[in-house]
Amino acid sequence: MEVFHSLANIAFIALQVLTGVIGGYQAVLAFFGFVRKKEEIKHKPEKTFAVLVAAHNEAEVIGPLIDNLQTLNYPKDLYDVYVICDNCTDNTADIVREKGAIAMERNVPDKRGKGHAIEWMLDKLWKQPKEYDAVVMFDADNLTESDFLLKMNDKLKNGARVIQAYLDTKNPGDSWISISYAISYWYVNRMWQLARYNMGVVNYLAGTGMVFESKLLKEIGWGATSLTEDIEFTVRCVERGIYPTWAHDAIVYDEKPITLKASMRQRLRWMQGHFDCAERYFFKLFKKSIKERNLSMFDAAMFLFQPMRLLIIIFTTLMMYLQMWLPEFFDFTDLTAVLPTWFWITINVIFLGQLPLSLLLEKAPLKGYLGMFIYPIFVITWFPITIVGFFTRKNTEWSHTAHTRSIRMEEISR
């Protein structure tokens, strides 16, 4: 029993230091998101774009997106809209053609999911006689501001090769779930993405609103077919010394689930894919970051580790309660033995303070602040999702999120 207690104490201390260091790192890094420099458009439209939209049975929402994309403030001869109608059983392809976009119908039932659909589409695209300077990727439920391609043209002209746009929520007022998503995204956009952009390290792709230099895609291939193809491609870029950047003023609106059930299914898929990518890439990227003393690679490794950090927090919290309830069986070293109580209080106060501050800086609507009262419940729902996601991380079955809100750009307001 003494040996068991000694090993448990060592493990608890190690876990304490690990979660404390990573939490402190993120808390400090977030301060770089406090300042935002307005970026003016300096280059005239020149880059050509293939705009790809991944769609599986999206008849309810694809029409408004195509109308939106066809009215962008960018020369019409410099971009084309392709919709990947992936294993559709509805009339998505018919709507796409009626709206004047290019319907690319794919029927490969044994390889479902956006990652496979994109890989298939890129192979078709490279075989076409028309060439494009860059590829844009949207989801079928998206809408975007009219200057999106102007902003991306500017980024590409300035040397960027992979760019992530600002992700906002087009239906924040639909339910407590959708407003919780919106709060999360306002925080991440400001305290994660903008902070890293200001710091000069890697930004993270988020599944939609992504722009890729065609030359890069041809060089390294897509190769991202996991449940979280965005994370996988981010890591593949970072491994090669290519760091995705951020376009804070290029805004994309994304439809969020409105029920807890739909939300948990979506987030479980995200967590499964994240754990899978972490298992395959974390140690390799972490070792390389130390060897090359590369902050961007280290930051990417820490990003991959985030779900595991949450799992550790859940585990250590459970152990603390067991120690309180059954001290005779769980007589371990206090978790504040290495890092004092004031450290943990400071970290938590910083995180709690940054949340409403991010809403203030992002000029979020009043409903965002009201949603903060119920937001902690949304955060708690991540706990079972994380646990299940860890044990089912080998799952590769795509879970489609149904979209039903046919919202148009003129209906969106902050």
Q: Round the average pLDDT of the chain to a whole number and report it.
A: 89
CATH number, span 49-257: 3.90.550.10
CA dihedral 373→377→382→383, nearest 10 degrees, is 130
In whole angstroms, how far apart are CA 36 and each of 194, 209, 317, 363?
A: 8, 20, 36, 13
**Do the Cβ atoms of 31 and 195 come closer than 8 Å?**
yes
For 28-62, the pLDDT digits (tens) are 899 999 999 888 899 999 999 999 999 999 999 99
The residue extents of the domains of the chain are 2-33+277-391, 49-257
pLDDT above 80 for 331: no
413 vs 148, residue with greater confidence: 148
Number of H helices, E strands in the chain: 15, 8
Q: Which residues pair with 168 in a beta bridge?
A: 253
| Residue 40 neighbours by CB under 8 Å, 6+ apart | none
Look up residue 375 and give its two tokens: 């937001």
Query: What type of residue is 175?
Result: S
d(CA 265, CA 257) in angstroms, rounded, equals: 10
pLDDT above 70 for 335: no
**Residue-wise DSSP of 25-75:** HHHHHGGGGS--------S-S---EEEEEEESS-TTTHHHHHHHHTT-SS-
Q: Which residues pair with 143 in a beta bridge?
A: 253
31 vs 17, residue with greater confidence: 31
Report the relative pairing of strands 162-169 and 210-213 from DSSP bridges. antiparallel
d(CA 181, CA 186) in angstroms, rounded, equals: 9
Give pTM, 2 decimals: 0.90
Which region among 254-258, 345-349, 385-389 has the lowest average model confidence (pLDDT)?
345-349
**Do the Cβ atoms of 300 and 235 come closer than 8 Å?**
yes
Segment holding 282, helix H or strand E: helix 260-292
Helices of type H across 162-259: 176-187, 195-199, 214-220, 229-239
Report the relative pairing of strands 210-213 and 134-139 from DSSP bridges. antiparallel
What letters, b where the CB count within 10 A reaches 16 and e where it falls short, cover 23-53?
Answer: bbebbebbebbeeeeeeeeeeebebbbbbbb
